[in-house]
Structure 1
Amino acid sequence: MTRKQKIIQSAINNKIIDNNLTAIGIMDLDRLKLTVNDVYSAFPENFTHTFAVKANALVSVLASLRKYGMGVEVASPGELKISLAAGYSAQDIIFDSPAKTINDLRTCIKNDISLNIDNLQELARIDELMIEFPHTQSIIGFRVNPQIGSGDICSTSTATATSKFGYPLADNNNKQKLVQLYTQRPWLKSIHTHTGSQGCALELMAEGVKVITDLAEEINVTIGKQQIVRLDIGGGLPVNFASEEISPSFKTYADILETQVPILFSGKYQVKTEFGRAIVAKNGMIITRVEYTKSSGNRHIAITHAGAQILTRTAFLPKSWPLRITGFLPTGEQRTDSLSQVVATDVAGPCCFAGDLICNNQLLPKLEPDDYVMVHDTGGYYFSNHFDYNSLPRIGVFAVSGEDDNLKIHNIRKADSLADVLNKM
């Protein structure tokens, strides 16, 4: 029996999921630690690693990542607040957002939180704040858009010619202007790029990193000393949602970077990564109960309690964000083709629109009422996000740790069932 099968059996046997709490998210903290170890083993010591908080903004998960040795990259005041609640200190945080207010900038610079500048108007604000806080320890740099093109998913490609993110390097005379801006500001000590994540080839991501590395070298030569000391290579790895295989691996990405941008591995620069989805996705799962089944147009339909309110990306963009489904009997035994007839199935959620589907026309062992469905690889951007907060019942989130034969499951985000809500009225 696999670890995942034991987790779902434990959740059922301990009545963590039942006819009252009908959808839960689970993070496997032991597997999360192994993933972080894989990151650190793939790169040399001059690399430091931050976690993109937007991928999983649960305090307990962030606190675990802090314990495992990761910093955080935050993209909003809310994410900053959550990270501080998880125990992160200023030197372990970097603030990225294309819409920082003057108060956001002041908070960062006053409190020595590092940040990346998105545009020239933001730079003008920071110029004023640097007069106000001349001794700040914030490491500040520009986010550069290398404008090298898109991956397979446009919405996760951030280095296109018209991307909303960063300073467009290839437009007009922008490269020369940026060199001049750094020359005039000795407190600009970093440079940042983010080519994309899901749907982006590793070679494309490495190309973006090479652009800013070459630019950093040019700036430092122009200044006559190494003013830029940090290269912030944002962007996460794509995740394989088709199987249990972890592909690509962090080591694969490191090898491609070393081939295309060898100076990163020389120790000359501090290099900061900002992995998100690749850290958490495969260490989380959603489990939901099948409430009803029916047939329509010769299609078997299983209605569950997890849909667009939790699996938002998949419901609205199913071709870009397909997910794997595994069915389980009420006892926790996996439904297989030896136990059940395999039929074309729609696994549906509880929301009142036609596109509220976890999967569409997928061949699955026939699901029945009171079965359970496991949705794999959902540890990032699914149950950890805010979208399900207005749903009833709201999904509960649990953490699991321990050896396979001695699993410990504990609640890290409470959810009220509909009955609980009505009883409070």
Structure 2
Amino acid sequence: MTPSPEHRAAWPFRALALALSRGQLDEDDTAVIVYDLEGLDARLAELNRLFPAGTLHAAAVKAAPLRALLARLCRAGAGLEAASGPELHLSLRAGCPPERVVFDSPAKTLPELRQALALGVHLNADNFQELERMDALDAGSSPAASLGLRVNPQVGEGSIAATSVAGQYSKFGEPLEKRGEIVRAFQKRPWLRGLHMHVGSQGCGIGLFTAGARALLDLGREIDRACGERRVLRLDIGGGLPVSYGPSSPAPSMEDYATALRRECPELWDGPMRAFTEFGRWMFAGQGFAAARVEYVKEQAGQRTAVVHLGADMFLRPCYLPDTWRHELAVAAPDGTPKQGSRSPWNVAGPLCFAGDFLARGRELPDMAPGDWLVVRDAGAYTLSMWSRYNSRQAPKALGVEADGVEVLKARESVEDVLRFWG
């Protein structure tokens, strides 16, 4: 169930105040990312309610690769989608059974392919050359492995080119216009049993997702006819449903998406094919916020600037592409309670040594003072996972909040951790 606007507005302050009161944040914790664990549970429950029974919901590891979060989803029956060799290992370390792991890296090495086949994960080949590598590895002799091919359905791009991967050209998969070669690839390989797609993420509409799924279902029927048997047994529709980062970026609901998908692709519910999903942003973004301590407040050239402890190190896209990526900001007092009062334009500067490190410019915010907290809403996906090593700053602590309890999901990096990283 989608939380009410009132809960959504109040929860970060309640969670931050709880963490502070429990002593989970000390003077060294200049920044933190906090997750709503019950909200994460609700997201998975919503997917199970809306999609066909038996669907494997494989959360995208890249969106929030905190092992504690991944393990919690796995304990509740979810799968995990790995886009690299280390993400594959992280999935297994989080307790995900191999039969619930989807391995989608577009640049798999021979050792990675060999290991994935031995483990028996769901492996989606990115291209015909990868299928030839799998031929050489005798992929058909791995009875536990579930093997498919990624296809670009070529249904068009969304409003953000960098997150759209289903145009006429894409770096991912084989294009649908090569359907003859795709069909022949399946005829040649009886062990090839699945189709995979990903249309894109933020900026893509429901129509693109449903059109992509429809195109691959039709391709699957063509493959079945050519092979003389039911060959395509699973359809991986990827993830990508956009999320709202505030009033300026409304987004469709998962219920809207599932309803449209059922209307356009009813055989996912009525037929023998098993559906897979790979939601990341939708799963994690609204379940986490970040908070950074205000270190200094400066007034110069008629502008007020708050210097905080998060910037382009964790919010690469908002800092580099502020017109495309925007987070709602709020301000809390040193005890975590929301600051009230009049609002005025503020610049929010991050801690990195380059001129573009700003979370916001001219944003209407309450007055800030050193010791306050700058709260960044909807930061649960693609933030900590994109942490930058520029200036060698320490990655912040990650906390999970459930009812009235607070747990450390990941400790703040120590100076020694950073030095060890650099060798």
Same fold (TM over 0.5): yes
Counterpart in the other structure of 2:4: none
Instruction: Check conservation: 2:79, 2:100, Cα contact below 8 A.
Output: yes
| Of 129, 133, 158, the match for 1:125 | 133
Counterpart in the other structure of 2:320: 316
Counterpart in the other structure of 1:199: 203
Which SS does the other structure have where 1:381 is aligned?
A: coil
Counterpart in the other structure of 2:183: 179
- The CA distance in 2 between the partners of 1:128 and 1:23, in whole Å, is 49
Counterpart in the other structure of 2:272: 268
TM-score, normalised by the number of residues in structure 2: 0.92
Counterpart in the other structure of 1:83: 91
Deviations 1:360-385 (A, max 9, x none): 21111121111111111111111244
Equivalent positions of 1:38-117 (< 5 A) are 38-117=46-125
Deviations 1:40-83 (A, max 9, x none): 11112042211011001111010011012210110111101111
The alpha-carbon deviation at position 286 of structure 1 amounts to: 0.5
The alpha-carbon deviation at position 289 of structure 1 amounts to: 0.6
Deviations 1:380-409 (A, max 9, x none): 11124443597334311111112xxxx211
Instruction: Check conservation: 2:56, 2:100, Cα contact below 8 A.
Output: no
Equivalent positions of 1:10-409 (< 5 A) are 10-130=18-138, 134-170=141-177, 174-243=178-247, 247-336=251-340, 339=341, 341-387=342-388, 391-402=392-403, 407-409=404-406
Q: Structure 1 residues 79 and 389 mapped into 2: Cα distance closer, same or farther (>3 Å)?
A: farther
- The CA distance in 2 between the partners of 1:408 and 1:385, in whole Å, is 27
Which SS does the other structure have where 2:290 is aligned?
A: strand
Q: Structure 1 residues 390 and 266 mapped into 2: Cα distance closer, same or farther (>3 Å)?
A: farther
Instruction: Check conservation: 2:40, 2:287, Cα contact below 8 A.
Output: yes
Which SS does the other structure have where 1:160 is aligned?
A: coil
The alpha-carbon deviation at position 246 of structure 1 amounts to: 8.7
Which SS does the other structure have where 1:306 is aligned?
A: coil
Counterpart in the other structure of 1:3: 11
The alpha-carbon deviation at position 30 of structure 1 amounts to: 1.0
Which AA in structure 2 matches 1:295? E
Instruction: Check conservation: 2:289, 2:376, Cα contact below 8 A.
Output: yes
The alpha-carbon deviation at position 359 of structure 1 amounts to: 1.5
TM-score, normalised by the number of residues in structure 1: 0.92
Instruction: Check conservation: 1:43, 1:251, Cα contact below 8 A.
Output: no
Which stretch has the larger CA shift, 199-208 or 410-419?
Answer: 410-419
Which SS does the other structure have where 1:25 is aligned?
A: strand
Q: Structure 1 residues 222 and 325 mapped into 2: Cα distance closer, same or farther (>3 Å)?
A: same
Instruction: Check conservation: 1:300, 1:343, Cα contact below 8 A.
Output: no
| Of 407, 410, 419, the match for 1:413 | 410
Q: Structure 1 residues 63 and 244 mapped into 2: Cα distance closer, same or farther (>3 Å)?
A: farther
Which AA in structure 1 matches 2:37? L
Instruction: Check conservation: 2:293, 2:309, Cα contact below 8 A.
Output: yes
Root-mean-square deviation (CA, aligned residues, Å) is 2.1
- The CA distance in 2 between the partners of 1:244 and 1:61, in whole Å, is 29
Q: How many residues are treated as equivalent by the alignment?
A: 411
Which SS does the other structure have where 1:225 is aligned?
A: coil
The alpha-carbon deviation at position 16 of structure 1 amounts to: 2.8
- The CA distance in 2 between the partners of 1:70 and 1:420, in whole Å, is 31
Which AA in structure 2 matches 1:4? P
Q: Structure 1 residues 239 and 388 mapped into 2: Cα distance closer, same or farther (>3 Å)?
A: farther
Q: Name structure 2 gaps, 5 residues minimum.
A: 1-6
Q: Name structure 1 gaps, 5 residues minimum.
A: none
The alpha-carbon deviation at position 417 of structure 1 amounts to: 5.8
The alpha-carbon deviation at position 124 of structure 1 amounts to: 0.7
- The CA distance in 1 between the partners of 2:251 and 2:183, in whole Å, is 37
Which SS does the other structure have where 1:290 is aligned?
A: strand
The alpha-carbon deviation at position 333 of structure 1 amounts to: 2.1
The percent of aligned pairs where both chains have the same amino acid is 37
